[in-house]
Structure 1
Amino acid sequence: MCASSSEKDLYAVLGASPSESTEELRHRYQQLVLQCHPDRLSGRGSSEADVGLKRFLEVDAAWKILSDGNTRRDYDLHRRAHDLKQDWPVDSTVFLDNMAWNNDECLYTHCCRCGGAFIINEEEVQEETQRSTSQEEVETPGGQSRGVIVCCDTCSLSVYVTWTTLPQR
């Protein structure tokens, strides 16, 4: 998938919704192509023709992805994953060392002001540590900083749980 498809909602480009059928998308595509086709706008001013050409290419690219069942499914999955990774409003930062450790369940907890808890298990900490080790990291005076956003199990608040490790030698 090209970079422009991840920047713009392809359904919005066609003025459609994800629930519309391929036939409905085709109808919207055909209407838009008739409005902004370069041949139709060739006699107009150069700036209007340029805008029309850009719009035509955008509509055509969206249609190429959404008209094919496989690429549409891939796009829908990518779109859903992006929606799930939305930025959560972070209430505060909590250091893993300041969280309570439950040895029986192998997880860290921190009380939320609502009475609920922020919970992260040891496996998630290890996975994030391994994942971030393979990526570029920000150096901190005490080592390399790692962290994840953890949501409260009761309310909508979230915290950024962070920890540091010594650099590998």
Structure 2
Amino acid sequence: MDKEATCSKSNGTVEGNYYEILGCDQKASFFELKRNYQQLIKKYHPDKHEGSSSTSEKFIAIDKAYKTLMDENSRKDYDTSLLKRDFDEHFLIHVELSQSELDFSEDDTALYLCRCGENFVIHKKDLNEGGYVMECFQCSNSILIK
């Protein structure tokens, strides 16, 4: 648990992601999240550090991270936002699609036309709940499927 929440002095926003705040890997189980949360919440509890605004900000960040990651739906949404942020930094995302927008054939494949004219061939088995990015074989565009 070397990674801790750090807060910006100017606006109190949390830097880093919720997994880092809790000192966990993104694939951490609910048990691991809870264990780390309990240890950190004791360490940064405001009653132990009266008058320390940075400790209070860490406490709030830890609590917010835990509440988000312990709710299954919130965690899925958060993981999707992390994935999108990561891909936005590394890929040129041409379009974002939901799985419901794709028309899968009987062999569980769907086609999506890239702006360069090439087809993306999407296999249903490759899709996951967190999101899936495909790069076009002809150009540098990618699609994100949620």
Q: Which bin holds the TM-score, normalised by the shorter protein?
A: 0.5 to 0.7
Aligned to 1:77, the other structure's residue is in SS state helix
Letter in 1 for 2:55: G
Which of 77, 82, 86 does residue 80 from structure 2 map onto?
77
Q: 2 CA distance for matches of 1:19 and 1:88? A: 23
The equivalent residue for 1:68 is 71
Q: 1 CA distance for matches of 2:31 and 2:48? A: 24
Which of 32, 35, 43 does residue 35 from structure 1 map onto?
43
Q: 1 CA distance for matches of 2:32 and 2:68? A: 15
Letter in 1 for 2:25: S
Aligned length: 94
Q: Deviation per CA, 1:71-129, whole angstroms, max 9, x where unpaired?
A: 0111111211222222459xxxxxxxxxxxxxxxxx99xxxxxxxxxx82299xxxxxx
Letter in 2 for 1:78: S
Q: Retained in 1: the 8 A contact 2:44–2:56?
A: yes
Identity over aligned residues, as a percent? 32
Equivalent runs, 1:119-158 vs 2, <5 Å: 120-121=116-117, 153=137, 158=140
Letter in 1 for 2:77: D
Equivalent runs, 1:1-169 vs 2, <5 Å: 8-42=16-50, 46=51, 49-88=52-91, 120-121=116-117, 153=137, 158=140
| Unaligned segments of structure 1, at least 5 residues | 90-106, 109-118, 124-150, 160-169
TM-score normalised over the length of structure 1: 0.47
How far residue 50 of structure 1 moved from its aligned partner, in angstroms, is: 1.0
Aligned to 2:116, the other structure's residue is in SS state strand
Aligned to 1:16, the other structure's residue is in SS state coil
How far residue 8 of structure 1 moved from its aligned partner, in angstroms, is: 3.2
Letter in 1 for 2:59: F
> Which structure has the larger Rg?
1
Q: 1 CA distance for matches of 2:136 and 2:73? A: 37
The ranges of structure 1 where at least 4 consecutive aligned residues each deviate by more than 3 angstroms after the TM superposition are 151-154
Letter in 2 for 1:75: Y
TM-score normalised over the length of structure 2: 0.53
Q: Retained in 1: the 8 A contact 2:118–2:136?
A: no
The equivalent residue for 1:97 is none
Q: 2 CA distance for matches of 1:68 and 1:37? A: 22
Q: Retained in 1: the 8 A contact 2:19–2:25?
A: yes
| Unaligned segments of structure 2, at least 5 residues | 1-12, 93-112, 120-134, 142-146
